[in-house]
Amino acid sequence: MAVFDYQAIGTDGKKTRGVITADSARAARKELRLRQLSPLSIAESRKVREGTSATGHDQKLAGSDLVVATRQLALLVKAGTPVEEAIGSVAAEAEKPATRKVFLGVRSSITDGHSVPEALNTAPKAFPPFYRAVVSAGQSSGRLDEVLERLAVHLEKSRKMRNKILSALIYPIVLGVIALIVVTLLMVFVVPAIVEQFDTLGQDLPWLTEAVIGVSNFLRQWGIVVLLLLIAGVWGLRRLFRQPNVAEARDRFILSLPIIGRLSRGVSAAAFARTFATLSASGSPVPDCLSAARGAMSNAVFRKATLSVRRRVEEGTGLARAMRAERVFPPILLHMVASGERGGDLAGMMERAADYLEDEFDNASTVALGLLEPIMIVILAGIVALIVLSIMLPILQINQLAIG
């Protein structure tokens, strides 16, 4: 099938335009007449022509592109558009070639007789396991339009949460890098130039000045080696943290920290609750919801705890009781889950818990940044003040000798 741009006149006499999928232009005209539209012009979609073919369509999509495409797909399906045509419309409206190729490939799989979940499975890089699980649950329950709407909302909120985390990390990282660059420039270029003036006098220097000069000489001689060792160390740590035991120990240590641990616990718990609520509302059983929630979290401690919770649930234990036994989930989430189980609205209570945890993270990160900013400025000012003081002390000694 191909995607066509069309212009037509409706029964009210107004001109309308849009996209339609059909085997040929003639079939597209026939389909438009069935919709009580009088076609004026039909042409193959230029966007799709400029995109690539449906082959090799398994490409990773940017988070923003997947959110926009899912929202468009949800709106079209909810409006009564057949899924195949809705996917073709999303491909035609996509601005990036990768997005067009992915959705054209999915539509091609559907026209070959595959179901929507099977078509999505042909592009695992583009659609994460959670995404495919939600769509599969929606089609099985016959509520694909409602499920796609929930999925779009979930992706938007998850992306908003990730943006909050990035916003919380960008400022301290940038400030730390700038501080490191400023101090390095002072130590490598400014301090040696001033020290040359002191050497001509042959005077004993204060211990602080000697210490700063020693650090300056070390950086000038071994700075490149230190930089290479740091890069190698970061690379080695990243490979080491891929080991499950090491990653779990790292994440457990992070959770034990006073402020950072609370933020990390809130982020993981919010991702767990949001993913669970989306799948549960789509009609998926609790074990499948737990599997998807486990995949949505990056914290190894929470992932291990969720796996254990799933085993307990499959053995007949209640969800709230199984989660409480792991001792990693926040109390508010445990209370919400218990209330949801008693009231028969587990998905709704999970949704409320996710909203609460995300708001709590937003407030806590704002407070943490408010404290971190002056602390980092004071540390940077202190380091610069030590360097300046180490330069001023010999000058003051020289003035005292001249006066004496």
Could you identify the residue written with the tokens 């933020």? 263
Q: What are the distances in angstroms from CA 53 to CA 89, 103, 285?
A: 15, 10, 37
Q: pLDDT for 97-138, tens place per residue?
A: 878 888 888 888 787 777 787 788 777 777 877 777 777 777
Parallel/antiparallel/unpaired status of strands 38-44 and 15-22: unpaired
Both tokens of 24, joined, read: 């040929």
3.40.50.10540, 1.10.630.10, 1.20.81.30, 3.40.50.2020: which CATH number matches 63-156? 1.20.81.30
3-state secondary structure of 15: strand
Kind plus residue range of the DSSP H or E element containing 154: helix 144-185
Please name which of 355, 360, 330, 164 lies closest in space to residue 278, comparing C-alpha atoms. Answer: 355
- Whether 332 has a pLDDT exceeding 80, the answer reads yes
How many other C-beta atoms can be found within 10 angstroms of the C-beta atom of residue 183?
17
Q: What are the distances in angstroms from CA 108 to CA 54, 88, 119?
A: 7, 9, 8
Both tokens of 293, joined, read: 């929630």
Identical fold, 63-156 and 169-403: yes
pLDDT recorded at residue 232: 93
pLDDT band at 404 (very low <50, low <70, confident <90, very high): low
pLDDT recorded at residue 55: 46
Question: Could you say which DSSP state residue 341 is in?
Answer: H
Among the residue ranges 161-170, 174-183, 379-388, the one predicted with the least confidence is: 161-170
Q: What are the distances in angstroms from CA 365 to CA 346, 358, 373?
A: 28, 10, 12
Task: Tell whether domain 169-403 is in CATH 3.40.640.10.
Answer: no
| Cα–Cα distance, 154 to 71 (Å, whole number) | 10
- Return the domain boundaries, the chain: 2-44, 63-156, 169-403
- Whether 48 has a pLDDT exceeding 50, the answer reads no
Which contacts (CB < 8 Å, 24+ apart) does range 131-139 have? 131/66, 133/279, 133/284, 133/288, 133/291, 133/292, 134/278, 134/279, 134/282, 134/284, 134/292, 137/279, 137/282, 137/283, 137/284, 137/288, 138/282, 138/283, 139/115
| Cα–Cα distance, 33 to 55 (Å, whole number) | 32
Spatial strand order of the sheet with 38-44 comes to 15-22, 2-9, 38-44
- Whether 218 has a pLDDT exceeding 80, the answer reads yes
| Cα–Cα distance, 254 to 265 (Å, whole number) | 9
User: 284: phi > 0 → left, psi -120 to 50 → alpha, else beta; which?
Assistant: beta
pLDDT band at 141 (very low <50, low <70, confident <90, very high): low
Residue type, 121: N
For 121-158, b/e burial (b = at least 16 CB within 10 A) is: bbbeebbbebbbbbbbbbbeeebbbbbbbbbbbbbebb
- Whether 34 has a pLDDT exceeding 70, the answer reads yes
pLDDT band at 38 (very low <50, low <70, confident <90, very high): confident
How many other C-beta atoms can be found within 10 angstroms of the C-beta atom of residue 214?
10
Please name which of 42, 52, 50, 51 lies closest in space to residue 21, comparing C-alpha atoms. Answer: 42
- Whether 378 has a pLDDT exceeding 80, the answer reads yes
332 or 370, which is more confident: 332
pLDDT band at 69 (very low <50, low <70, confident <90, very high): confident
| Cα–Cα distance, 248 to 367 (Å, whole number) | 28
pLDDT recorded at residue 122: 78
User: What is the mean pLDDT of the segment spanning 34-41?
Assistant: 78
pLDDT recorded at residue 199: 65
284 or 107, which is more confident: 107
